[in-house]
Amino acid sequence: MKVYAKLKAIRKQKHLTQEYVAQKLGYDPTHIGKMETGKRVISPDVLLRYKDALGASDVPLTDQEVVDFESELWSWRDKINNWLVEAAEECQPDLERKAELSQERDLLILYKLISISFYRIKNDEESAKRVLKEIARNLSELSPVNKSRFLIMRGTDSMHSYRYKAAYEDLFEAYIISEKLRTTSFGVLYNLAQCYTIFGYTYKAVEFILKARVIAKDTEFILNQTNVLLAINYANMGMFEEAFKTLDTCVELEEVRHSFKPIIGQIHYAYAYVLMRMGAYDKSLEQCEEAIRQFEYGDRNYTVTLLLKAKNYFKKNNESLVIDCLDEGISLSKDDSILQIEFLAIKYIINIHEQDSLDFFANTALPIMLSDMRYSMIVEYYEIAAKFHKQQENYKIAFEYMELASKYMKKILESDL
């Protein structure tokens, strides 16, 4: 049934006259008659007013409204991607109403998928997880495009829970689908690059970051996120000059846009990371302090920066300050088992008898790290342990730790190249 015919049917079903509707809309009754017979085009704005007059929330959108609705959804996503929270909030109620009126299942799913990102920028994880579960119940019915989008969202959700192996499995499946459809998005490329960075697969990380940068080139906010990750991977490759050039670009972009504190903090963190990799520990610590000033006390960015501070103090042989950072980090990371393991592993190396340290690592830390493919973390642990025992002149034990570090580094390289 055509929309105009359905409007007429609903009006009669509710025993309302054309005169009543005309009065509500401010039109002549003959005008209403022409709209109800299709002789006069009903604009989207008038249609919405007509529906309100009838109390007819179940009238579907017109073809033109569907086209406009899809365009509005992509515009909403752009606002969300640029963290324009107030602008995104203004759009949401109207988009939710149109989603309910839409008979296009794919558009309804698209609205729900974008709404997950919307809830996340508002720090409403409960609503984001609720919508994810709603969509997951009907996963087999999704079109390939929406299945890919859903897998990206679920992969992102796993990343927020620091379950990178699960995230990688969803994201890589989404990447395969989107490559076939030629719809590969920034989100799947960037999040896969994050997973590869965590796993220590530096070359794969850089490959996917560079692909993501091509898509991000017109969006300064996500371009800076990409550049921060790229600089960290350049540092892991020993390409320090390239890392600094990339971060300097971030600073230039931030100077021409409204400063967003978490991104400013992440830029300082990346500078600190590069400087630590270079051995410039004092300068790295200065950048850590700058980063911490931008983060909220206790959030993950803040806690990860504490870990970087601890590593700098460890490399400077300042044991008391290392312990201070580790104790604070252990307390703050109680809800993040992987991050807490990193703090505890270093503390066990420094404070506890050799056998206790080995038992803790073998029985507690290593299984968790392996289950989430944290090979780079394992290598770093062994390198820290080797350095500590070398300082204690326990050369045999230091050598054994370096052998273990080499074993897992080889595993990383075999997977990365």
Task: Evaluate whether 276 touches 308 at the Cβ level (below 8 Å).
Answer: yes
User: CA distances (Å), 188 to each of 111, 123, 130, 197, in order?
Assistant: 18, 21, 21, 14
Class of residue 180 by CB neighbours under 10 A (exposed 0-12, middle 13-18, buried 19+): exposed
pLDDT above 80: residue 68 = no
- Give the chain's domains with CATH numbers: 3-59 (1.10.260.40), 143-214 (1.25.40.10)
pTM above 0.85, yes or no: no
- Can you read off the two tokens belonging to residue 38? 């299709």
Helices (runs of H) and strands (runs of E) counted in the chain: 23, 0
- The 10 Å Cβ neighbour count of residue 308 is 20
Task: Evaluate whether 59 touches 11 at the Cβ level (below 8 Å).
Answer: no
User: CA distances (Å), 35 to each of 8, 27, 43, in order?
Assistant: 9, 11, 10
**Identity of the highest mean pLDDT range in 249-253, 275-279, 314-318, 330-334:** 275-279
Task: Please state, in angstroms and rounded to a whole number, the distance separating the CA atoms of residues 40 and 302.
Answer: 61
| Angle of CA points 337, 339, 344, to nearest 5° | 85
Question: Is the pLDDT higher at 200 or at 353?
Answer: 200
Task: Please state, in angstroms and rounded to a whole number, the distance separating the CA atoms of residues 313 and 388.
Answer: 13
At 127 the three-state DSSP class reads helix
Name which of 296, 231, 275, 222 is nearest 253 in CA terms: 222
Confidence at residue 411, expressed as pLDDT on a 0 to 100 scale: 76
Task: Evaluate whether 59 touches 51 at the Cβ level (below 8 Å).
Answer: yes
User: CA distances (Å), 150 to each of 118, 160, 177, in order?
Assistant: 15, 15, 12
pLDDT tens, residue by residue, 101-152: 666 677 788 888 888 888 887 878 788 888 888 888 877 777 888 888 889 8
**Amino acid in the structure at residue 337:** S
Confidence at residue 361, expressed as pLDDT on a 0 to 100 scale: 66
What is the DSSP code string of 337-372? HHHHHHHHHHHHHHHS-HHHHHHHIIIIIHHHHHHT
Long-range own/partner contacts, residues 141-148 (CB < 8 A, 24 or more apart): 142/109, 143/106, 144/177, 144/180, 144/181, 145/106, 145/181, 145/183, 146/106, 146/109, 146/110, 146/113, 147/174, 147/177, 148/174, 148/177, 148/178, 148/181, 148/183, 148/188
Polymer length in residues for the chain: 417
pLDDT tens, residue by residue, 204-238: 999 999 999 888 766 666 788 889 999 999 999 99
